[in-house]
Structure 1
């Protein structure tokens, strides 16, 4: 299995609520972007996969835990680890932390591979090799 992927993100004003803390749904945006960057760093182009062989990944399940708030202008690090790859699923552990601190948010995310008709499809062999 490949090593954990780390991706930096800064908290902008638009990410926060009136109290200046990150709005809870924005953590899902941060981890979505980190998943895309993890695939890109491993050499997988999601747009090319969508075109041929007609495959996309969709979130099937998210088990999220909000531990502490991030605030405006914080520099965060999103860590993504692949827990398992099987058939049509990829299960990830993702966390968001201030640089050098404990996690503020953690999630276990289950992705499913779908064909262009929205039916379950096998995770491509090259992705299984990279992350399995």
Structure 2
């Protein structure tokens, strides 16, 4: 199962050459993950206020394959790969039509607002697994 999120490249996303600045791909995939989690019925603001838990990125592996350009319409595809009690791994790609521009593997953990590691609550884990292949 995958989740697709579409976006357009704006001038603010690019460098002087009109090419998407490399760090902005991380913003694009973050937005897509947030929308994916929302689509699963997980309210991150409520999770923080009610259970004092937040999702955090622990690790990102990124491959830049081809440039995205000003005004391109991009698709960010999020595919959950693995979930354990303490870790979620997703693969995310950025595509322009059928051309893959960026590929990443993101490892996500859960922390308290004090920065202490926590297990995923059972209901959250169940929802994340429902969004897995």
> TM-score scaled to structure 1, two decimals?
0.94
Gaps (5+ residues) in structure 1? Answer: none
**Structure 2 match to 1:126:** 123
User: Displaced runs of 4+ in structure 1, greater than 3 A?
Assistant: none
Within 5 Å, give how 1:87-106 maps onto structure 2.
87-98=85-96, 100-106=97-103
Secondary structure at 1:104's aligned position in 2?
strand
Partner of residue 15, structure 1: 13
Q: Distance in 1 between matches of 2:84 and 2:106?
A: 14
Tell me the alpha carbon deviations over residues 83-127 of structure 1, each in whole angstroms, 9 at most, x when there is no partner: 1111211100000001x3121001000011001221111112122
- SS of the residue 2:123 aligns to: helix
Q: When the two structures are aligned, how many residues end up with a matched partner?
A: 129
Question: RMSD in angstroms over aligned alpha carbons?
Answer: 0.9
Task: Tell me the CA shift for residue 130 of structure 1.
Answer: 2.2
Map residues 37-48 of structure 1 onto 2, 5 A cutoff: 37-48=35-46
Distance 2:95 2:119 in 1: 32
Q: Which runs of 5+ in 2 are unaligned?
A: none
Structure 2 counterparts to residues 1-132 of structure 1, below 5 A: 3-98=1-96, 100-132=97-129
* TM-score of the aligned structures, taking structure 2 as reference length: 0.94
Pairwise CA distance, 1:49: 0.5
Q: Is the 8 A contact 2:40 2:128 kept in 1?
A: no
SS at match of 1:50: helix
